[in-house]
């Protein structure tokens, strides 16, 4: 996992539109960004790498099992019970202490971020819907309107890995890169991202900002 400059867990709230300075409407996805709690700190001396473990979505303690409650108890008495935990390798882990709360305020309008989530599951799908195959002839004499064509070798007695066939569509981990932050509301704890975000409404998302490299890193200095 590569180091990132900023990271946050959130929840997809839905889509709407905002108007830019030129008067044009932009389709945006509204994300509840945090608040996240710093649960654990990984160090290079002890664990071999630097990282932060963030907790999100406070729930009643009775909804968590004893191992999770014991893990949260190590962070301190003030740590609330949280449903989700995720680890991020940040470029500056020293900026956050155990128990610190992180929210939408870490992002700024105009930044580009990456969003990772689980896409919507669409059940069993054929090759035309799943892989955009063109399909066979549409005339009455055809016997393969929507069927896949040749499946390759027949003497292998198995399906080759990566072969495009009908099957389960969606419900996979997807990362959309380069979404621009259009709006940040620190009071409500939400951010608006230009474009679409994977997953259904209410799904868990991870919003990260990649660390600058090459020319961008030099300009930041």
Query: Which pLDDT value is given to residue 213?
Result: 62
Q: What angle do CA 39, 44, 50 make, to 5 degrees?
A: 45
pLDDT digits (tens, 9 = 90+) for 163-211: 888 999 999 999 999 999 999 999 999 999 999 999 999 999 999 998 7
CB atoms within 10 A of CB 161: 5
> Lowest-confidence range among 130-134, 158-162, 201-205, 210-214?
210-214
Picking from 122, 210, 208, 213, the residue whose alpha carbon sits closest to that of residue 167 is: 122
pLDDT digits (tens, 9 = 90+) for 143-159: 888 888 777 777 777 77
DSSP secondary structure, 18-30, as one string: EE-TTS-EEEEEE
Please name the residue that has the structure tokens 């955009």: 132
Query: Which pLDDT value is given to residue 219?
Result: 54
Which token pair is 162? 């990566």
Q: What is the pTM of this model?
A: 0.82
Q: Do the Cβ atoms of 215 and 61 come closer than 8 Å?
A: no
| Of 159 and 135, more confident | 135
Please name the residue that has the structure tokens 């399906």: 159
Q: Which domains does the chain show, CATH number per domain?
A: 4-125+173-212 (2.40.30.10), 126-142+160-171 (no CATH)
Query: Which pLDDT value is given to residue 192?
Result: 94
Query: Which pLDDT value is given to residue 163?
Result: 86
pLDDT digits (tens, 9 = 90+) for 39-96: 999 888 888 888 999 999 889 999 999 999 998 888 876 788 999 999 999 888 888 8
């Amino acid at each position: 996992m590569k180091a990132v400059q900023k990271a946050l867990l959130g929840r997809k709230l839905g889509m709407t539109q905002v108007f830019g300075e030129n008067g044009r409407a932009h389709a945006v996805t509204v994300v509840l960004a945090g608040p996240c709690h710093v649960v654990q700190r990984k160090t290079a001396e002890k664990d071999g790498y630097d990282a932060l473990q963030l907790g999100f979505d406070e729930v009643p303690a009775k909804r968590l099992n004893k191992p999770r409650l014991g893990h949260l108890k190590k962070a301190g008495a003030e740590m609330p019970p949280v449903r989700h935990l995720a680890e991020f390798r940040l470029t500056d882990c020293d900026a956050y202490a155990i128990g610190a709360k992180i929210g939408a305020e870490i992002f700024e309008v105009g930044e580009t971020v990456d969003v990772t989530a689980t896409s919507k599951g669409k059940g069993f799908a054929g090759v035309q819907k799943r892989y955009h195959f063109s399909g066979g002839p549409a005339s009455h004499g055809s016997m393969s309107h929507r069927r896949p064509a040749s499946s390759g070798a027949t003497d292998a007695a198995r399906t080759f890995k990566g072969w495009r066939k009908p099957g389960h569509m969606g419900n996979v981990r997807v990362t959309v890169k380069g979404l621009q932050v259009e709006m940040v509301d620190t009071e409500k704890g939400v951010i608006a991202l230009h474009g679409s975000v994977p997953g259904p409404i209410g799904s868990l998302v991870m919003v990260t900002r990649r660390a600058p490299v090459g020319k961008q890193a030099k300009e930041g200095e």
